[in-house]
A and B are shown apart, each in its own frame.
Chain A
Amino acid sequence: MSLLHVFGFGLKVGHLLWMLCCWIISVISMNWFLNGGIMDTKTCLLGDGAKICLKWWEKISGTSCKIHHHYYQYICSKRVRRTWWKRLLIAWALGWTVVSLWIFLYMSSQATEKRKETLASMCDERARMLQDQFNVSMNHIQAMSILISTFHHGKNPSAIDQRTFARYTERTAFERPLTSGVAYAVRVLHSEREQFEKQQGWPIRRMDTLEQNPVHKDDYAPEALEPSPVQEEYAPVIFAQDTISHVVSLDMLSGKEDRENVLLARASGKGVLTAPFQLLKTKRLGVILTFAVYKRDLPSNATPKERIQATDGYLGGVFDIESLVEKLLHQLASKQTILVNVYDTSNHSQPISMYGSNISDAGLEHISTLNFGDPFRKHEMRCRFKHKPPWPWLAITTSIGILVIALLIEHIFNATVNRIAKVEEDYHEMMELKKLAEAADVAKSQFLATVSHEIRTPMNGVLGMLDMLIDTDLDVTQQDYVRIAQGSGKALVSLINEVLDQAKIESGKLELEEVQFNLRAILDDVLSLFSGKSQEKGVELAVYISDQVPEMLIGDPGRFRQIITNLMGNSIKFTEKGHVFVTIHLVEEVIDSVEVETETSSKNTLSGFPVADRRRSWRGFRVFSQEGSNGCFPSSSSEINLIVSVEDTGVGIPLDAQSRVFTPFMQVGPSISRTHGGTGIGLSISKCLVGLMQGEIGFVSIPKIGSTFTFTAVFTNACNSNEYRSQQIINQANTASYEFQGMTALIIDPRLVRAKVSRYHIQRLGIQVEVVSDLNQCLSIISNGNTVINMILVEQEVWDKDSGTVALVINNLKRIHHKVPPKLFLLAKSVSSPRTSPATSGVCNATVIMKPLRASMLAASLQRAMGVGNKGNPRNGELPSLSLRSLLLGRNILIVDDNKVNLKVAAGALKKYGADVICVESGKDAISQLEPPHNFDACFMDIQMPEMDGFDATRRIRDMEHNVNSRIQRGEVSAEAYGNISTWHVPILAMTADVIQATHEESLRCGMDGYVSKPFEAEQLYHEASRFFQSVSNGNL
């Protein structure tokens, strides 16, 4: 899941980055636009831009919101998400297509606008120039009209003739850049015509025929023109610039255009323009500007009539528009880029083209009005670009670029989504597979558990039969076979038990008990289990439990025992010489002494062989690192934190195998299982069990030197809860200790560690202990005589080494202690070694105590040797050869079973071992039989019985006993009435066919002491019976 989260987060970040990138790119392109825009439109654009930004931002945040939303919904609905994504992506693509289209349109419209602006400005510029130059020309013509009125009409005779005029106008032509020629026509009334013709020497000719029959320029001959018909008045040209000298003598009033022009000019007193027409001779388009010349200065508000009266003549200027405009445009730059047309638009419906080719192109056009100073005529200039507008490449590339980016992003999104979907699918698939695998694992464990349980049942039969078989008369070979079969069977059962444990742990079914137990007793048990093997091998086996560890603990003794048995079994298996040493301390103790005990390294060990430093085995423990930092102990006072070390001097674990020591079914090498057997799950189970006890396990191992396994476990101190206090009678050491109270023992042992172990065990019996390192010191103490030494325990090593001194000591002992000489004991570690040398054996009667030392065994040996305790009862003295028969002989046993057949069989079995058996068939009968006082030593009770089952019966019996006990204690009844027994507790064993844990627990809960399986198995029966028969007899002492 976390992977998915990380992935999702990465995607989110990636998306945000992408959005940011995209946004920045868009903003940049926007800015290009803005900067490229023209100042006038900028404000508007800015507004637009802001709006657009806003829109984009909304879109972006919307999208990212959707994406977020999307991620949160991720795991919930896959299908919905898919379709959502599809829609989102399509919307995204469409949206960006629209955006890019819009950008394209916007940019191209901007370009067009700009083009239009350029055109307008160019057109306006041209129009203005044209207008200016026209005005200049017009002004000059007006000035000439004044000149003529002054020098022609004002002087008599006239100061101007044709030649003067021609020369003058020629030389002042630069003043009128737009005129191609100037002519002056005088007003002649009909009455004055003859005189005028005579004076000038030519007739007044008419012009209209010329207009109707245009001739070629070269053929033009004014003399061929007809004389003007009779008119009211005439306006013959008398002066003309050389360029238009052909118009001299022509009557201006006879031409249609000219006549209108002339009449209008003299009536208005202003310059008047004709419509464009074809000029005579040149045949080019032109306009004529006409000014009237008056006889006198007229006021500006003179009526047209007055003006007509005062008219003297008319001055006309010919504007050859075409050539002039061309000339003008030549002067301007970039004339190639635009086309200019000039129109006379006095008549709106029919504009007259004055300049430029007539192109019917509907392209971009700009119109500028021209004002030539004639209020009656309107002119305009139309401009258009010569070339078509170029492709808007910028807009195209920008929009396409944005589109491409958007599509790319979409592609990335799409790919990502697909990828996520795929990963998710894979993940789900994996989850499914994982579930399947786990289910298979659980099924496997269950199968194992079931199968192992099923195998156990027939195996019990096999083992029982083998037990029986070995008791019969067999020859040596047969015995050997049976023993092998038995050994294999036991190995198989223990293997099955281990597998069952492993399976239980794996399927999580293993639960720890919470019962009270004596730690030291358990260790004694384990020691006795391994003593045979260690003695065989000559390996020294020792247990040391710190004084600070409480007597009684609450926890799971069986499992604790299993761990220790496992570790010790391994150690003994792999140790050929040296020792196996178990130490149990409180964790606090070890922490305090970490610095102090540093010198207990290799030399000073139990057997003198070097060992692996056990402190290194717990280096990784949590509890220690915790201590280091905290300094104080976190657990409550009733919690007991034990640390147990099992140290051996065996072969050690190869370095490369050390990492997989706790892996199930892993052994150091294939050869190990061949030479030493075992399945390799012991340590793995131990690790699990330690974990269940809230502890840790660790080890240190040096090849060829040895290994030390250490584990911690948390128990509850039973002494704090005093409910089970009365049960402490069971504690053997306590009961035995009274016998030896006040005695003193002397241990002679040069090895501190070993001496410490010996002292520990002897002290448990209530004996005071002194330790000396050699016999000489021993001698000095004895001869000192200050302390009474009851017993001397000599380590076998000392004995063998220095038998001479031993003899001396013995002699001394006899000499000093006349009354009760101290007993001499020899502490031997193996069966073969206590071959007490002949020299000493004759001298003294030293008792050999076989190691490993155990409280019960030690007590028995001491009792026998010292002659204290229950004399005449051979039970304790014959410890090694205890058999079921001796244990049960003469016991009164009550058997309770509703099934007569079962009853008979059970009775038969117990009778065979010498017990006196009484049978009852119901729980009620059992209760009445067991009502104190009675003389039963034990009761075997069936669990499943009609009316009252075994649990119920036991509960009632216990209640009964409790009543009696409390009454005795309170003194209400005397103990004599109850057979001098102050505490009644008859051991009750459950008989059951099923050995399910639950049944076992239930039986313990209701006050039973143990259980035996039906039908009886000799070894189990012995184990259970021996557990409390000893204690019962002790209690009866």
Chain B
Amino acid sequence: MDVGQMRRQWVEYTKSLFMEGFLDSQFEQLQQLQDESNPDFVVEVVSLFFEDSERLLNDLTRALDQPSVDFKLVDSYVHQLKGSSSSIGASRVKNACIAFRNFCEEQNVEGCRRCLQQVKQENLLVKNKLETLFRMEQQIVAAGGSIPNMEQIGF
């Protein structure tokens, strides 16, 4: 596979991520912030996000397993998750978080649990997708190519 093909694949894949709503404009901004002085910025941020989300999801699972759920605590966790997900542009996680917070406000344990599952699912999905994306980038770089600029894709 030559570099050009890989780049095309990468572009297609990125496009599909945006089209399917896994990512939003914020992710583009992140990519913008990455430059020569900070070549691994996006990967760093994203991995930071997944570490963070992993921890938060664990906390959430624990919190919701308690016999009496502390909704305030749950809400603060979800708020954090929402903030960080919107920061990296993981829009589906963010949307799930918004729904989650609504159930929190209603103090609906069942709804919260459902949402938690959904958030976990979305988180896992976007994690896989992004890992795939990063793998593709690594391959491109390894093949001596450069990662295409998003603006040039013509979004």
Contacts and interface: CB of A to CB of B under 8 A. Distances in A.
A59 to B, nearest CB: 70
Interface stretch (A140-148, A535-543, A894-902): A894-902
Nearest to B26: A1015
A1005 B151 CA distance: 41
Contact of B28 (A468, A898, A908, A944): A468
Contacts of B151: 468-469, 472-474
Interface string A132-166: 00000000000000000000000000000000000
Nearest to B42: A908
A900 B76 CA distance: 15
A703 interface: no
Interface in B53-101: 76, 79-80, 83-88
Nearest to B41: A908
A924 B29 CA distance: 30
Nearest to A907: B33
Given A472-B149, A900-B52, A905 B28 contact: no
A769 to B, nearest CB: 49
B25 interface: yes
Nearest to A910: B33
B131 interface: no
Contacts of B41: 908
Contacts of A900: 48, 52, 84
- Which bucket holds chain B's interface residue count? 20 to 34
Chain B residues touching A, majority SS: helix
A834 interface: no
B138 interface: no
A313 to B, nearest CB: 148
B87 A901 contact: yes
A1015 B87 contact: yes
A899 B49 CA distance: 9
Interface in A72-119: none
B44 interface: yes
B32 interface: yes
A991 to B, nearest CB: 10
Given A908-B41, A908-B45, A465 B28 contact: yes
B45 A993 contact: no
Contacts of A899: 52, 80, 83-84, 87
B25 A911 contact: no
Given A465-B25, A469-B151, A911-B38, A901 B33 contact: no
Interface residues of A, number: 24
B87 A908 contact: no
Nearest to B73: A946
A464 B83 contact: no
A912 interface: yes
Nearest to A946: B76
Given A905-B33, A908-B38, A461 B80 contact: no
A465 to B, nearest CB: 5
B155 to A, nearest CB: 8
A1015 B91 CA distance: 14
Interface in A894-950: 898-902, 904-905, 908-909, 911-912, 944, 946
Given A469-B151, A899-B83, A904 B29 contact: no
Given A899-B87, A902-B87, A468 B48 contact: no
Contacts of B85: 901
A904 B45 contact: yes
A464 B33 CA distance: 14
Nearest to A461: B25
Contacts of A909: 29, 33
Interface string A33-59: 000000000000000000000000000
B52 A901 contact: yes
A779 to B, nearest CB: 59
Contacts of B48: 900-901, 904
B35 interface: yes
B69 to A, nearest CB: 18
A898 B32 CA distance: 23
A905 B88 contact: yes
B133 interface: no
B83 A901 contact: yes
A900 B29 CA distance: 17
A469, A902, A905, A911: residue with the most chain B Cβ atoms closer than 10 Å:
A905
Interface of A: 461, 464-465, 468-469, 472-474, 898-902, 904-905, 908-909, 911-912, 944, 946, 993, 1014-1015
25 contacts: A461-B24, A465-B28, A468-B151, A474-B151, A899-B84, A900-B48, A901-B48, A901-B87, A902-B83, A904-B48, A904-B87, A905-B30, A905-B45, A905-B88, A908-B30, A908-B41, A909-B29, A911-B33, A912-B32, A912-B33, A993-B86, A1014-B83, A1015-B29, A1015-B86, A1015-B87
A-B pairs with lowest CB-CB distance, top 9: A901-B84, A908-B33, A472-B151, A901-B49, A905-B87, A902-B87, A899-B83, A901-B87, A904-B45
Given A468-B32, A474-B151, 5 more contacts: A905-B87, A905-B88, A908-B45, A909-B29, A912-B32
